[in-house]
């Protein structure tokens, strides 16, 4: 088995758990937040800087890398780890979600998906087999099954038809898998916001016996309480001895609420994306450092943070860099935002160890400004 999950401890008062995910490129302690590196780079960060901030695993993307530079080139380079000089675990998404959200999609057929590239409008076709072939070439440790993430809202019949096709696609992904000993495929559960359809998707996908499972189809614009409700009844149906990955989630509140409901892994482009437009996540809420009010603020981005950016620079300086359109601006805010979330997950793992996750959440929310 390329990837195995070890359940270490269940938290006493919630469904949170501590675990270890063993992969060909190293062991990952869960719960974990995974920085996103869409085009074979976590934007503005070097692999050394990511290691310094204790990043354990990063994400990359089938859709983007297939279009540019092409998965064949990356395979010739010796695979994605070698190409981007990252020797720790990599998880690649299967491209379905990005085709639906980025490409000028427009034909979803049983065979696969016809779309136009968002780069140059050229015509392309991705099938479950093609997605697995690309991920095999990239050589990621965890490859996601090719799925359809239904839009939100979507009718029951659309979601039912879609989840049943996603199940057939998941089977085809397993059949197309060439490297079962060095790369694991994680299945993706769909079913929209419908309890019975989520149950059906869990049943069909877990019957295929994957080494790990993702809860897909969420964080697609639905209200937070709907997402939490779907997690409440979906996560407990997943096998306890396998990792659970909630796709596309990554603000502090979502991370807390997902972990409390039994999620082990999460990814989100937001922390790095908002960093590039000057918004940082601090222990007292979000802060837009470009605002004029920080022009003469000679304190750190977050006084309670010990990341490289907070230890060496002030809000006034980072604001100046943004106003001067300096590259260092994004590097410092990205460093801080990633460090903040990675540290948050470390604190959450500590809290699970000591059975005080709910108290930690309370403490965090009070300072951050969330109302519980």
Ligand X SMILES: CNc1nc2c(CCNCC3CCCCC3)c3nc(N)[nH]c(=O)c3cc2[nH]1
Backbone angles phi, psi at 151, to 5 degrees: -65, 165
Nearer to ligand X, 228 or 308 (CB): 228
If the CB atoms of residues 97 and 364 are measured against ligand X, the closer one turns out to be 97
The residue (of 18 and 65) whose beta carbon lies closer to ligand X is: 65
Annotated catalytic residue 267: yes
Query: How far apart, in whole angstroms, are the C-alpha atoms of residue 95 and residue 330?
Result: 27
Under the binding rule (CB under 5 A), the answer on residue 42 touching Zn ion is no
Round to whole Å and give the CA distance between 135 and 90: 11
The site partner of 4 among Zn ion, ligand X, none (C-beta below 5 to 8 Å per kind) is: none
Distance, CA of 187 to CA of 147 (rounded, Å): 9
Q: Is 298 annotated as a binding residue?
A: no
Would you say 263 or 344 has its CB closer to Zn ion?
344
Contact assessment for residue 87 and residue 127, using Cβ atoms and an 8 Å cutoff: no
- Say if residue 305 carries a ligand binding annotation: yes
DSSP 20: E
Give 21 or 36: the residue with its C-beta nearer to ligand X: 36
Q: 97: annotated binding-site residue?
A: yes
289 binds Zn ion (CB under 5 A): no
Are 58 and 42 contacting, i.e. CB atoms less than 8 angstroms apart?
yes
Q: Residue 281 is encoded by which pair of tokens?
A: 């996540």
> In terms of residues, how long is the chain?
372
| Residue corresponding to tokens 């085809």 | 172
Q: Provide the b/e sequence for 44-81 (b: ≥16 CB within 10 Å).
A: bbebebbeebebbbbbbbbbbbbbeeebeebbeeebbb
**CB-CB contact of 166 with 147 (8 Å):** yes
Among 45, 67, 176, 307, binds Zn ion (CB under 5 A): 307
Question: With binding defined as CB under 5 A, does residue 287 bind Zn ion?
Answer: no
- Considering the complex, what minimum distance in angstroms separates the CB of residue 309 from ligand X? 23
Site string for Zn ion, 313-342 (x = CB under 5 A): -----------------------x------
Relative to beta strand 142-144, strand 123-126 is unpaired
Residue 353: CB atoms within 10 Å = 13
- Which residues contact ligand X by CB under 6 A? 36, 38, 59-61, 93-94, 96-97, 144, 147, 149, 188, 216-220, 247-248, 267, 269
Q: Which of 52, 93, 264, 371 is catalytic?
A: 93
Q: Report the nearest approach of ligand X to the CB of residue 310 (Å).
A: 26
Angle at which helix 252-260 crosses helix 357-368, to 10 degrees, equals: 160
The binder of 310, among ligand X, Zn ion, none, by C-beta within 5 to 8 A per type, is Zn ion
Complex with ligand X: residue 186 or 313, whichever CB lies closer: 186
CB of 123 to ligand X, least distance (A): 22
Q: Residue 307 binds which one of Zn ion, ligand X, none, with CB within 5 to 8 A depending on kind?
A: Zn ion
Using only C-alpha atoms, the chain has a radius of gyration, in whole angstroms, of 20
Is 120 a catalytic site residue? no
Smallest distance from ligand X to CB 34, Å: 9
What's the CA gap between 129 and 324, in Å, rounded?
47
> Of 141, 264, 267, 302, which one is the catalytic site residue?
267
> Is 147 annotated as contributing to ligand binding?
yes
CA distance 89 to 348: 21
Q: Which one of Zn ion, ligand X, none is in contact with 305 (Cβ closer than 5 to 8 A by kind)?
A: Zn ion
Minimum distance from CB of 320 to ligand X (Å)?
30
- Binding positions for substrate are 93-97, 147, 190, 217
Residues noted as catalytic: 93, 267
């Amino acid at each position: 088995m390329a990837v195995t999950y070890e359940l270490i401890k269940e938290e006493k008062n919630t469904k949170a758990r501590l675990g270890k995910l063993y992969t060909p490129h190293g062991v990952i302690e869960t719960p974990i937040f995974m920085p996103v590196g869409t085009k074979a780079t976590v934007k503005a960060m070097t692999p050394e800087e990511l290691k310094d901030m204790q990043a354990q695993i990063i994400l990359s993307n089938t859709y983007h890398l297939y279009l540019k530079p092409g998965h064949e080139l990356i395979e010739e380079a010796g695979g994605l780890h070698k190409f981007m000089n990252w020797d720790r675990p990599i998880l690649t998404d299967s491209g379905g979600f990005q085709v639906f959200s980025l490409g000028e999609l427009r034909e979803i057929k049983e065979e696969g998906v016809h779309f136009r590239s968002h780069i140059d409008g050229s015509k392309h076709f991705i099938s479950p087999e093609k997605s697995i072939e690309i991920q095999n070439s990239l050589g990621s440790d965890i490859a996601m099954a090719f799925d359809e993430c239904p839009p939100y809202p979507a009718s029951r019949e659309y979601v039912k038809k879609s989840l049943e096709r996603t199940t057939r696609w998941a089977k085809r992904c397993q059949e197309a898998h060439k490297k079962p000993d060095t790369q694991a495929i994680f299945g993706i559960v769909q079913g929209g916001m419908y309890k019975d359809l989520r149950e059906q998707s869990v049943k069909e996908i877990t019957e295929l016996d994957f080494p790990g499972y993702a809860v897909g189809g969420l964080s697609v614009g639905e209200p937070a309480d709907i997402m939490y409700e779907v997690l409440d009844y979906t996560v407990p149906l997943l096998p306890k001895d396998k990792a659970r990955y909630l796709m596309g989630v990554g603000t502090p509140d979502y991370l807390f609420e997902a972990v409390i409901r039994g999620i082990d892994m999460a990814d989100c482009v937001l922390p790095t994306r908002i960093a590039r437009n000057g918004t940082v996540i601090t222990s007292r809420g979000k802060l837009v450092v470009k605002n004029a009010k920080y022009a003469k603020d000679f304190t750190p981005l977050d006084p309670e943070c010990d990341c490289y950016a907070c230890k060496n620079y002030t809000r006034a300086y980072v604001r100046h860099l943004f106003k001067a359109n300096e590259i260092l601006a994004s590097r410092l805010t990205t460093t801080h935002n990633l460090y903040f979330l990675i540290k948050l997950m470390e604190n959450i793992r500590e809290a699970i160890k000591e059975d005080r996750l709910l108290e930690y959440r309370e403490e965090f929310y009070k300072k951050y400004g969330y109302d519980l």
